[in-house]
Amino acid sequence: MKLKTLAAVVVAAGMISSAAKAGPEVEVLHWWTAGGEAAAIKVLVDDFKSHGGKWTDMPVAGGGGDAARTALKARVLSGNAPTAFQMKGPSIQEWHEEGALTVGIDAVAKSENWDASLPAAIANHMKCEGKYCAAPVNVHRIDWIWANPKVLAKAGVAMPTTWDEFNAAADKLKSMGITPLAHGGQAWQDATVFEAVALGVGGNAFYKKAFVDLDPATLSGATMQKVFDQMRKMRGYVDANFSGRDWNLATTMVMNGEAAFQIMGDWAKGEFTNAGKVAGKDYLCAPTPGNGYLYNVDSFAMFNVKGADKIDGQNLLAKLIMGKNFQKVFNLAKGSIPARVDVPLNEFDYCARRSAYDMDVTSGNGGLLPSYAHGMAMRNAQAGAITDVVTKHFNSNMSSADAAKALAQGVKNSM
């Protein structure tokens, strides 16, 4: 064999060998860009890389995920879907119906016995026609109220247990020149406050009929008008500069004593933790008034991709996400609790342990309910219709009766 030919064979063999040794790869599209969220996703990135994987990060900030979902649609339509996308609730099934998702990780789920490690309600969210197409990383509680204890002490008020107590505390704080409620004027944040108010004002059965069953009479009825009455009060408790503010900046207002309360999911705790703050000392946490538990499960759905390296990447990603150690370390950073029920919580703080306890209790009494504002209770079209009304009401003089009527009509039109 001639030297040039031999050299070519050696080079080609080397290229084939290198290709054969290519490790698992993922390109992950997500919206975890704030401090505590960024720290949490770094746990997953580092874990993936430590197992020989190549991670391409595709963060898209803003809008509670709206901007990221827009980017995803563009990618899928152009035939360039990411390996995995941060997704939750009925959106998973919607993308599956479009033929965009793979159930390839179901083999990993079976070998790792995910069904025995997850609450049935959460497992069902992760499945496409009975097979796993997504892997859950956590359980977030949405109906939390966060507070600055020094500000409350200065005003002589306590953490509220009813909405009347909240209103009385907020009125006193406002009279002292203190912003009662740190809030960001973005549609998803309006919806977050609204669903917490709806749960507390109407109760668990009301919430389910309105936001899971989408019952027209409940959506337009007298109780829903009372929910909007309370939302009108909430509008009076925010500062003048709330419009367009990101949620983590609202959390910082509470942290710095610029505001007393914030109503936000427990990813807010990730911001406190990232700043070195201690629960019960530097900040307080409690469920918003009511007896239910609104949950949001973050997960990564796996899209149809080509190439053994990407498929291996999906399998590795799924296995790592559901690992006990990752579930512990990630959720300590994120502020949430593990999706797995068999992860010890001894290293978690009071807020997390309270969340896990309440989830267990409400799962047995009908109070464990999917968050509408965070994509767990209904499909995007209906959720969007509701949020449009909520935001319009919050930023106008729309009456409660008109808002409730518009809510039912909006849902009907979106069906």
Mean pLDDT of 94-107: 96
Residue 125 lies inside a defined structural domain of this protein: yes
Same domain, 340 and 305: yes
Same domain, 99 and 120: yes
Percent over 90 (pLDDT), the chain:
84
The candidate with the shortest Cα–Cα distance to 144, out of 72, 220, 196, 74, is 196
> Within this chain, do residues 168 and 261 fall inside the same structural domain, yes or no?
yes
In a domain, 86, yes or no: yes
Task: Work out the pLDDT band at 4, boundaries 50, 70, 90.
Answer: very low
**Average pLDDT over every residue of 102-117:** 97
285 and 160 together in one domain: yes
Please give the pLDDT value at position 63. 62
pLDDT of residue 348: 95
pLDDT above 50 for 25: yes
Say if 10 falls within a structural domain. Answer: no
Amino acid making up residue 339: A
Number of domains in the chain: 2
- Segment 188-207 shows an average pLDDT of 98
pLDDT for 168: 98
Q: Are residues 79 and 212 in the same domain?
A: no
Confidence at 366, pLDDT banded by 50, 70, 90 = confident
**CATH code of residue 49:** 3.40.190.10
**What is the predicted pLDDT for the residue at 64?**
72
Run of H or E including 369: strand 368-370
Per-residue pLDDT tens digits for 207-222: 999 999 999 999 999 9
Q: Quick one: 267 and 407 in the same domain?
A: yes
Residue 291 within a domain: yes
180 shares its domain with 153: yes
Are both 175 and 54 inside the same structural domain?
A: no
In a domain, 13, yes or no: no
Please, which residues have CB within 8 angstroms of residue 316's CB and are 6 or more apart in sequence?
24, 26, 48, 51, 53
Amino acid 1: pLDDT: 43
Q: How far, CA to CA in Å, does 183 sit from each of 118, 140, 189, 202, 235? A: 33, 19, 7, 22, 9
Together in a domain, 63 and 193:
no
66 lies in some domain: yes
**12 compared with 387, residue with greater pLDDT:** 387
Same domain, 37 and 130: yes
Q: Are residues 169 and 32 in the same domain?
A: no
Q: What is the mean pLDDT of the chain?
A: 92
pLDDT reported for residue 37: 85
14 is a domain residue: no
Return the pLDDT at 11.
40
- Identify the band that residue 2 occupies on the pLDDT scale cut at 50, 70 and 90: very low
275 lies in some domain: yes
User: Per-residue pLDDT for 15 more than 50?
Assistant: no
User: What's the whole-number mean pLDDT along residues 363-381?
Assistant: 92
Percent of the chain with pLDDT over 70: 95
Q: Which of 8-22, 37-51, 335-349 has the lowest mean pLDDT?
A: 8-22
Long-range contacts of 92-99 (CB under 8 A, 24+ apart): 92/125, 92/126, 92/128, 92/133, 92/134, 92/299, 92/301, 93/128, 94/379, 94/380, 95/301, 95/303, 96/128, 96/129, 96/133, 99/304
Query: Residue 338: which domain range?
Result: 23-140+296-351
Average of per-residue pLDDT across 88-110: 95
Tokens of 268: 């807010």
- 399 CB-contact burial (10 Å; exposed 0-12 / middle 13-18 / buried 19+): middle
pLDDT at 323 over 90: yes
Q: What is the pLDDT of residue 315?
A: 98
Asked whether residue 396 falls in the same domain as residue 270, the answer is yes
